[in-house]
Amino acid sequence: MKKFDIIVVGGGHAGIEAASAGARMGCTVGLVTMDPYAMGRMSCNPAIGGTAKGHLVREIDALGGIMGQIADRTGIQFRMLNRSKGPAVWSPRCQSDRKLYSEEAFRVISSTDNVEIVEGSAIEVLTEDGKIVAVKLADGSEIKCKALILSSGTFLNGLMHTGLSSTSGGRFGEEPATGITESLAKLGFEYGRLKTGTPPRLQKDSVDWDILEVQPGDENPQPFSHQTDVNQFPFLPQVSCHITYTDHSVHKILEKGFHQSPMFMGLIKGVGPRYCPSIEDKIVRFADKEKHQLFLEPEGLDSDLIYVNGFSSSLPAEIQYEALRKIKGLEDVEMVRPGYAVEYDFFPPHQVDLTLETKGVKGLYFAGQINGTSGYEEAAAQGLVAGINAALKIQGKPEFVLKRSEAYIGVLIDDLVNKSTDEPYRMFTSRAEHRLLLRQDNADRRLMKYGFQFGLIESELMGTVNVRGELINQGIRFCSNTKLHAREINMFLKSIGSSQIDSTETISKLCKRPELNLKQIISLNGYADNKFVQSLLSDAAALEQVEIELKYEGYIQRQHETVNRFEKYEETKIPSTLNYLNLKQLSAEGKEKLNKVKPRSIGQASRIAGVTPSDISVLLVYLKN
């Protein structure tokens, strides 16, 4: 019988992060997957990052995960989104070569020491005395383990819908995973159904590209990974995406198929993603909108397939095809494959702890869509955290939990555990109350110390980050202490239409003016000859962070004060043995929710939906006494 320290079930974005982290931390890992060559496969959109999701990728990379590196090596268009807004919401995104991404994921995992890829399908979780001991495969074999990470994506009893016809499967051309849900239900776990969808794929040469709006990548693209050599980046030829729109005539055609919609006819029981609705759902929910934007995205450099971002659908294939041909640029298009919806089982995430270990079975971890999330990036973040915690537990080391004030990953897991979810959870910048502190540009300074501590980050890279951090701190001090005289700056201020100063002003205060940038100011009047200034100007990333810290100094300071104010609640621990049902002063809903989630601290308890401020007061008095 095979035996591993950690078994990871599923080779998707969560599974490969979990396997990589656990193995590099010194554990033996068995990665169970139905198809090794489908590892890291992009089931839906061939892209990584985007609004808030790009923050997650940068954080995964800072902790020592592999998603950012794979994305950098296989990206065919890189863009920084939301540049017209504040730096808190700047988000990196890349269009990926779908085939190359999966191949690179397989290469990375198959070449990682301590990882063995096991081809097969897990059907049963085996426990003894409330602890995980093994997993059973469809061929009848059993694999022993000390920890089991389930990251099964959309495959748990997966059912795909196009029109009124449905087919078992977790993804186009692939079988569902059966048995795990039933096995977990016997152990007392609650489960439900969710739905996601994917748009049709088009034949590239059948699109009239000349009449479409072009969406190019950035002129000077930035990589996701802190380990990517910027001198070699980007590694692949870069391409453009294109934009088109639906209109009233398209909507009318789609409406013809509503009576054959599995969603509208009640065939789909699972709840779909609110923030990424199907095209038919958009037409109903946003009936006042005359058009919807669509992005035509290439699936790869050598692929003939085009992904229609914004046109996810489970309507009959013939309706999808007819509607597509009414869209500008697609009048003669050939549809290679229709869109479809997929239903799958998930386990409401109040059943996991902040480490992603389940509360019901020790050594069992859930990561990814099994926890009710949507998106590759959310899955990868959970896989990484589960892999790290499984390894730490086996090695007898303290657990790893990120706070909401430390990372978007902390926000993600805290939301899942405390609020649970009955619809696919997607990360947004608006979910992070401290988002100005959690920018994508400072992920290395926030989190790389943890990756280094776990052995997932090399000392040389950690040293580089520490040096840059000191350069940033020196830059802030220099700008706060260095004053410019009116005679040095007024002529320049006048030339750009900015108000002049009377006597002297610090660089820090001048930098707060929206029309000025730091590079302009410190390049004036001989400062560029200063050795320190030269070193700052030569490090674009450090210079950008100094400027952000100066321009938003007041807001950043207030967020730090808020974090410090609430820290005492995070430090007030609650015994795991506390029986909330015995506290008569608690509200009925408060008792129920607290007993379900079993929060670790007053801070966590205060974020549980349904727990009132008076409930928190009761808990504080009880703990004090």
Is the whole-model pTM more than 0.85?
Answer: yes
pLDDT tens digits, 598-614: 999 999 999 998 899 89
Edge-to-edge strand list for the sheet holding 201-203? 213-215, 241-245, 293-298, 305-309, 201-203, 335-337
pLDDT band with cut points at 50, 70 and 90 for residue 547: very high
Which of 50-59, 169-178, 286-295, 358-367 has the weakest average pLDDT?
Answer: 169-178
Q: Which among 196, 96, 187 has a CA at the least distance from the CA of 155? A: 196
pLDDT of 527 higher than 70: no
pLDDT band with cut points at 50, 70 and 90 for residue 534: confident
Domain end residue (candidates: 555, 589, 614): 555
Same domain, 217 and 279: yes
pLDDT of 22 higher than 80: yes
For helices 376-394 and 53-62, the axis angle rounded to 10 degrees is 30
Same domain, 491 and 583: no
Which of 126-130, 204-208, 399-403, 529-533 has the weakest average pLDDT?
Answer: 529-533
CATH number of the domain that residue 618 is part of: 1.10.150.570
Q: Which among 236, 191, 83 has a CA at the least distance from the CA of 548? A: 83
Predicted local distance difference test score (pLDDT) of residue 347: 97
For 399, the token pair is: 């657990």
Q: What range does the domain containing 612 cover?
A: 572-624
Predicted local distance difference test score (pLDDT) of residue 455: 97
Same domain, 120 and 78: yes
Q: CA 383, 387, 390, 396 torsion: positive or negative?
A: negative
Q: Which among 268, 264, 313, 318 has a CA at the least distance from the CA of 166? A: 268
Predicted local distance difference test score (pLDDT) of residue 569: 87
Predicted local distance difference test score (pLDDT) of residue 528: 63
pLDDT tens digits, 2-16: 999 999 999 999 999
- Segment 394-401 shows an average pLDDT of 98
31 located within any domain: yes
- Return d(Cα 534, Cα 522) in angstroms, integer: 10
Domain end residue (candidates: 296, 323, 338): 338
Q: Which residue has the tokens 């995430």?
A: 349
Predicted local distance difference test score (pLDDT) of residue 192: 95
Q: How many other CB atoms are found less than 10 A from the CB of residue 533?
A: 18
pLDDT tens digits, 294-338: 999 999 999 999 999 999 999 999 999 999 999 999 999 999 999
Percentage of residues in the chain having pLDDT higher than 70: 99
pLDDT tens digits, 268-279: 777 877 777 899
565 located within any domain: no
Q: Which among 95, 341, 42 has a CA at the least distance from the CA of 198? A: 341
- Segment 57-63 shows an average pLDDT of 98
pLDDT tens digits, 338-355: 999 999 999 999 999 999
Q: Which among 441, 398, 402, 410 has a CA at the least distance from the CA of 544? A: 441
Same domain, 484 and 583: no
- Return d(Cα 484, Cα 461) in angstroms, integer: 36
- In contact, 459 and 452? CB cutoff 8 Å: yes
Same domain, 445 and 464: no
pLDDT tens digits, 243-289: 999 999 999 999 998 888 877 777 777 787 777 789 998 998 888 89
SS3 state of residue 284: helix
Q: Which residue has the tokens 């560029």?
A: 528
566 located within any domain: no
SS3 state of residue 521: helix
- Return d(Cα 40, Cα 21) in angstroms, integer: 15
Residues 6+ apart with CB under 8 A from 62: 226, 443, 444, 446, 447, 448, 451, 457
Average pLDDT, the chain: 93
Domain end residue (candidates: 406, 422, 453): 453
392 located within any domain: yes
Q: How many other CB atoms are found less than 10 A from the CB of residue 203?
A: 14
CA distances from 370 to 122, 156, 347, 415, 573 (A): 14, 8, 6, 15, 29
What residue type is assigned to position 533 of the chain? V
Q: Could you give the number of structural domains in the chain?
A: 4
pLDDT of 213 higher than 80: yes
- Segment 546-568 shows an average pLDDT of 92
- Segment 143-172 shows an average pLDDT of 92
Same domain, 549 and 590: no
Please, how many CA atoms are within 13 Å of residue 109, restricted to the half-sphere of its CB? 33
Same domain, 334 and 362: no
pLDDT tens digits, 191-205: 999 999 899 999 999
pLDDT tens digits, 490-506: 888 898 899 988 889 99
pLDDT of 428 higher than 70: yes
Strand partners, 373: 425
